[in-house]
Each structure stands twice: as structure tokens, then as C-alpha cells.
Amino acid sequence: MAGMSLEDLDVLLVRLGSTAGLRAAEEELELALRRAGARVYAVRAERPRPVRTMALTDLTWAYAARRAAHELLTARRPPRAVIYSTVTAALLWRRPGAIVFDSPAAANRPGRHGVWQRPLERRRLREAPLLLPSSVGALAEASAALGGTLDTARAFVLPVPIAPAESDEHSAPPPLDPETNGHPATARPERDVDALTYAANPSKKGLDRVLDAWRRARRPGERLVVAGIDRERLRELGYAVPDEDVHVVGMLRPEEYRTVLRRARVFVCAPRREEYGLAQLEALAEGCQLVTAPAPGGYVALPLARTLDPRLVGEDLADGLRAALDTPRADYASRAAELMAPYTTDAVDRLVAEELLPRLLEAREI
């Protein structure tokens, strides 16, 4: 392989696509690789049937990723480099490759939930030619999983970029006004949404804590918007969601969701664990104040939120909500934009072109 140039580098990206957030991150990585000049072959695991335990769920997804990559990896001329979009996608690999991850199983699969994943994960982390954690926290967790023996020379942080919001001037904003009876409003006011939360996984995202804080903090006329899940599903999961001050909008299209963010004064969340926190970073990118509680995991937005306004970060979400709604800091949005600079598409594109592709090439030539 001596003398190979970046123009000769073709990459197989093995995408898992198990969640909406992961699909978005995988799409952004694929686009960044293409913009950097790589020839990219992307395959996605076919969603397996639901199973009862987390350990079995990971097993079925790992097999699905292996099957998706089989044809290209066994071809007469397979791609020169492989990137697995998660540790799960790499667990049953046919060939070593770079691993992108926001958390190792050692951190987010405790006890019986990671009984087979954790030991195999340690092998894969040691065998991978390149490790691409999405945050400093994820890198630290991977190093801890290996007993502190991780060779950082073959690892570097590759953030998930916050893609620019797509706008469609012909589309109406999402239905947030209860008087429209579910039909889109005809105007798009500025910051007319008091608070917004995203609860596609309500238990993990701490929706119960958010609703409790909202009940204690809200004043007459103020409304909380819950996105990512519909009211019927919340009822099935046992959440008592009041009608008078909480508006549940379900799963919105990405451009609709970003429109709501631009209308929101506050984004509030209390995750029990946060591997990355894409929704929180999107909120900051749209100039929305972030009210949140500390959580284990990579949680990239947490130190940013503390820097922007420490009053809004703490276990008492109700106090944070009132501070954000009553006495917002005038320069919050402009300072948030400065802190978000490393997470823009342009910044991550530079990392992919200047760091990732040369390291993939170097790893392949060794």
C-alpha cells in the first residue's frame, strides 16, 4: 500500500441506525467523508425483531450489522478502510476497523445488561486500528474499560456535528397552539414557546423529573412542549401528562423540530445518563437556554451550559426554569454560538479531512 494517496482511499461505513439520533449522526459522518474526498460505501443494519432483554437486543443488532457488511467485506476487492458507527456494530466484525462510539458498554451496559458485550468490547477496543469517541468523556470511559491501558495515539475525539437547520419557506410551523385544534398555526412568532423537552426515550431522558419540575415552576399561561413521543404512548408508559399546560407534539420532522427550537425560550431535560446529548447541543445552536441536571456519561453540553449560566444547571430544575424564564442573560445566545464553534459541520469536516482520513490511510498501510 506504500505510496497510496487520499484519493485512493475508499471506506466502508457500517451503519447501525438503531435510533433517530444515531441515524442522523451516521448520515453526517458519511457526508463529511464524501466532502473530504473519500469514496464511501455505506451499509445499514436491517432492524431486527424486538427481543426482551438489552443483552439480546445488542446481539441481534450486532448480527444485523455483520450481515449488512458481509458482501462488501468478502468481495474480491473490499474497501481499503472500515468504520463501524458504534461498538455494537463492531462486536461481531469480520474485519478490524475504526470504531465510532459515544459510550462503551462498560459504562452503559451494567450488570446483566452487558454480560457478553463487555468482555468482547474490550477485545475490539484493543484490536481496532483507530478509536473515534464523540467526546472526551467517552474516551475516558473507554480507557477505564481497558484498565487505563488505552493507547491514545490511536484515538481522537470526533464530535457529532450540529448540522445547519434546514428551512422550508413553503412549510407551515408545527402545531403548537391548542386553539388551532391540531392544525399548523399561520404565523411564526419569535420565542413564543416557554419551554421544550425531547422525550423519545422518556425514562432515560428523565421526563418524570421534567414534568415534576414544570408543575412546581410554571405560572398561569406558561406551557411546556414535549417532542419525540405522542400522548398515547406516554399514557401506555404510565406518564400522567396534564392537558392544560403541557402540549405533546409527537415525533416531528427534523426541520419542524428545529423550528420549535427557534421558538423556544428554554430547553429543559434531566437525563439519567447522557452519552452525548445531541438535542441539547441543537438547542444551544439555536440560541435556546439549556436548563438541565448533571448526568453521568459524555454529556458534551453539560460543561457548556455551566459556563453559559450556572444558575440553570443543578438538581433543582424548577429553580433553573424560573431563572431562565424570569431573568435570562442577554448575551446567552451569542456566547452559546461561540462555544458551539467546534461542533459545527465546517469544524468537523476539517477534522475528517485533516485527521480522520490520513489516520485511516496510515492504519491501512501499517
Burial label for 10, CB within 10 Å (0-12, 13-18, 19+), is middle
Q: 26-49 pLDDT, tens per residue?
A: 999 999 999 999 999 999 999 999
The 10s digit of each residue's pLDDT in 197-245 is 999 999 999 999 999 999 999 999 999 999 999 999 999 999 988 888 9
Q: Find the CATH number of the domain harbouring 256.
A: 3.40.50.2000
Task: Please give the grid coordinates belonging to residue 41.
Answer: 460505501
- Does any domain span residue 172? no
Please tell me whether residues 29 and 102 are part of one structural domain. yes
Looking at the fold, whether 25 and 83 belong to one and the same domain comes out as yes
* Same domain as 201, residue 52: no
Confidence of residue 166 (pLDDT cuts 50, 70, 90): low
Averaged over 144-154, what is the pLDDT? 90
116 Cβ neighbours under 8 A, 6+ residues apart = 55, 59
Q: Are 137 and 217 members of one domain?
A: no
Would you say residue 44 lies in a domain?
A: yes
Q: Give residue 78's domain range.
A: 6-161+344-365
Mean pLDDT of 307-332: 98
Are 95 and 56 within one domain?
yes
* 19 closest CA partner among 201, 231, 159, 204: 201
Confidence of residue 183 (pLDDT cuts 50, 70, 90): very low
Of all residues in the chain, the percent with pLDDT exceeding 70 is 90
CA-CA-CA-CA dihedral for 51, 56, 57, 63, to nearest 10:
-110
Same-domain check for residues 85 and 217: no
Asked whether residue 23 is domain-assigned, the answer is yes
- Sign of the CA dihedral with 155 first, then 294, 304, and 199 last: positive
- To the nearest whole percent, how much of the chain has pLDDT over 90? 82
Residue 164: how many other CB atoms lie within 10 Å: 11
Are residues 241 and 268 both part of a single domain?
A: yes
| pLDDT tens for each residue of 100-110 | 999 999 999 99
pLDDT in tens, 257-272: 999 999 999 999 999 9
My answer on whether 189 and 325 are in the same domain is yes
**Predicted confidence (pLDDT) at residue 71 exceeds the cutoff of 60:** yes
Cell of 225: 412542549
Residue 170 lies inside a defined structural domain of this protein: no
What's the predicted TM-score (pTM) here?
A: 0.88
